[in-house]
Amino acid sequence: MSELICVGAVAGAFGVRGEVRLKSFTSTPEDIESYSPLTDEAGANRYTITLTRPVKNGFAARLSGIETKEQADAIRGLRLFARRDQLPKLPDDEFYHTDLIGLEVHDTGGAPLGRVKAVLNHGASDLLEIQAPGLKTTVLLPFTHDAVPTVDLGAGRIVADPPEGLFPE
């Protein structure tokens, strides 16, 4: 498991005084400020985050060291990471998306179904995007207790009971 977890991203400059438009990936979006300072993916640059106001699809925010619109434009797309120990401990039935990506998926009989490529959320609930062997397209498995009764991070596997017909025979 990675020690760094992506909690947000810079969507671009906001205004002309160095503020950025910030997308938060935390369950309570404004909590991203409390996990500050955040780093880039390499852990080389640290940013203290100050949210200034909510805006459509995120927040206007100040990042330490970013003072001009040009500097804000230059970090567009920057993903921001928190150390795992900065984040709250999750209940047993909740997982950080980064911990699910790459896990092997097996059906309840032990047959391999594929590997988790991504975790998606289009508004209703999470979906596991699974790359199945021999398939050109991925399969979207609802990440519900019925469809995914077991996640074993230690063993690196998920046991799934997919709806009938979701995976080809």
Distances 1 to 19, 51, 101 between C-alpha atoms, Å? 33, 29, 10
Nearest to 93 by CA among 143, 26, 155, 139: 143
Task: Give the pLDDT confidence score for residue 9 in this predicted structure.
Answer: 96
d(CA 105, CA 143): 12
Task: Give the pLDDT confidence score for residue 1 in this predicted structure.
Answer: 53
Task: Give the pLDDT confidence score for residue 92 in this predicted structure.
Answer: 79
pTM confidence score: 0.75
Distances 56 to 41, 63, 128, 144 between C-alpha atoms, Å? 25, 19, 27, 29
Instruction: Give the residues of the chain that fall short of pLDDT 50.
Output: none
* Beta strand 104-107 pairing with 157-160: parallel
d(CA 132, CA 130): 6
**Average pLDDT along the chain:** 91
Q: Is 148 helix (H, G, I), strand (E, B) or coil?
A: coil
Task: Give the pLDDT confidence score for residue 134 in this predicted structure.
Answer: 83
Q: Please report the domains of the chain, with CATH numbers, ordered by start residue.
A: 4-86 (2.40.30.60), 97-160 (2.30.30.240)
Question: What are the pLDDT digits (tens) for 45-79?
Answer: 999 999 999 999 899 999 999 999 999 999 999 99
Distances 81 to 7, 22, 70, 112, 158 between C-alpha atoms, Å? 6, 13, 22, 32, 25
Task: Give the pLDDT confidence score for residue 88 in this predicted structure.
Answer: 84
> Which residues, listed in sequence order, are joined to residue 8 by a DSSP beta bridge?
24, 80
Q: Is 40 helix (H, G, I), strand (E, B) or coil?
A: coil
